[in-house]
Structures are given as structure tokens and as C-alpha cells.
Chains A and B, each alone.
Chain A
Amino acid sequence: DTEVTQTPKHLVMGMTNKKSLKCEQHMGHRAMYWYKQKAKKPPELMFVYSYEKLSINESVPSRFSPECPNSSLLNLHLHALQPEDSALYLCASSQPTREINTIYFGEGSWLTVV
């Protein structure tokens, strides 16, 4: 069982809706990530939070807004999305130590924009 929990597992939203994806981990990790994965493609990094501060934004459109309320939680706020934003959104976490460490993924949230 994964120790990174994502909700909801499935979300269908209209282009004018506002919704949020949520992620929680209790492994004591201090780095958290959002990835986007389209069908038959590898995950693409969107955002990295390190010690609750945004450290990497991979030029993601502003209709995606991340938030890290505390060290265990990571949200992705969605507003005015486009159908091409439909994808699997993966949350992940790791220890932000000097050495490269393993990232642990949740099972993802399947997003469909209609």
C-alpha cells in the first residue's frame, strides 16, 4: 500500500469550475511534488515544494495553483482548465536531503475536463 494518499481518485470538472486535488503523506518527508501524466507518456514534473516552500515551478500555467499548508499536505487548486489538461495527476514525496533520495508516488487522481 502506498503511503502517499491522493483524493479524489477520479474528478470530472467543467471548464468554468474550481476544484482541488489533495495529497497527504505521513512519512515525515519534507519535499512534495506534483506530476502530470498523459496517456502512454512519462510523468512530467509540475511543482516541487521543499520545507513547505515552492522551490520549482516548471512553467506551469496559472490555472494550476499549488499550495502546501503544512509538511504533510499538498493541494493543487484547479480553475478554468482546458480539455487538454485531462490527465493523471500524481503526487509524490521524498526527503530533501543532500543525497538524492527516492520519491514515493501516490496512486494518482484521474482528471477529466469537459
Chain B
Amino acid sequence: GNSVTQMEGPVTLSEEAFLTINCTYTATGYPSLFWYVQYPGEGLQLLLKATKADDKGSNKGFEATYRKETTSFHLEKGSVQVSDSAVYFCALGLNTGGFKTIFGAGTRLFVKA
């Protein structure tokens, strides 16, 4: 089946630390891959996306590369800020007779000053 697996949180980092959140997927066909971020009390915002193998998505200092050979889409940021504290969801998008986005369980990030 189609699924997304993320590293469990919470992840706690100090400001300016390096961030990696691992994400792997299982999918039939050729999915697009996304990272969404959810700040407390809010809906989801698209952070970045990649639509085919070897594409790199980037936004606000975050990056992720679509690795078909390892079925991965790990999120990285070189220097986190307190304002990056949120829940991060990895997701895949498929056209299966309708457009489905399947989310991972989410990883909560706390950044301390």
C-alpha cells in the first residue's frame, strides 16, 4: 500500500543547531513528495515539495531531496530558530482515481533559545 514513515518526535534542539527529520515512503506509481508545517493552533502550510526523483525542494532555509533509490525525502535545515518550533508532516501525493495526499504521523520540533 501507500504510506509515509517519519521519525518519531519530539525533537528538541538548541537555536542554530542542524536539523534532520527523516522520512521514507512506500508508493505505487510515481508520487510527488511534500513537507508541510503546522504551527500551534493553525492549519497546515506547505513548506516545500518535489515532484520527481532527484528534485530538491527548498524554502526558508529548509531543504529535502527526492531520493527514489532509498525512497526517502529527509528534511534538513542548517541552523534552526525558535520560530521553527512546530509539527512537520511528510506527505506523498498520488492520483488514484482522485487526488490523495497521504501524511506521515508528524514530528514535533522544539527549538530552545
- Quick check: is B82 within 8 A (CB to CB) of the other chain? no
Counting chain A residues whose Cβ lies within 8 A of the other chain, the interface size class is 20 to 34
Residues of A within 8 A of B (CB): 2, 6, 31, 33, 40-43, 45, 48, 50, 55-56, 88, 90, 94, 96, 98-108
Closest Cβ of chain B to A7, distance in Å, is: 13
Chain B interface, number of residues (Cβ within 8 angstroms): 25
In the assembled complex, the Cα of A100 lies from the Cα of B32 at a distance in Å of 6
Q: Can you list 10 A-B pairs with a CB-CB distance of less than 8 A?
A: A31-B99, A42-B105, A43-B44, A48-B98, A56-B97, A90-B43, A102-B93, A105-B44, A105-B45, A108-B42
A100 and B93 form a contact (CB under 8 A): yes
In the assembled complex, the Cα of A42 lies from the Cα of B87 at a distance in Å of 10
Determine the chain A residues whose CB is within 8 A of the CB of B99 once the complex forms: 31, 33, 48, 50, 94, 96, 100-101, 103
In the assembled complex, the Cα of A102 lies from the Cα of B105 at a distance in Å of 19
User: Interface majority SS on B: helix, strand, loop or mixed?
Assistant: strand
What residue in chain A is nearest B91 (Cβ atoms)? A42
In the assembled complex, the Cα of A56 lies from the Cα of B59 at a distance in Å of 31
Closest Cβ of chain B to A57, distance in Å, is: 10
Determine the chain B residues whose CB is within 8 A of the CB of A99 once the complex forms: 32, 51
Determine the chain B residues whose CB is within 8 A of the CB of A2 once the complex forms: 43, 45
A41 and B51 form a contact (CB under 8 A): no
In the assembled complex, the Cα of A11 lies from the Cα of B67 at a distance in Å of 42
Residues from 1 to 56 in B contacting A, C-beta threshold 8 Å: 31-32, 34, 36, 42-46, 49, 51
Most buried by B among A6, A55, A105, A106: A105
Closest Cβ of chain A to B87, distance in Å, is: 8
Residues from 59 to 113 in B contacting A, C-beta threshold 8 Å: 89, 93-95, 97-106
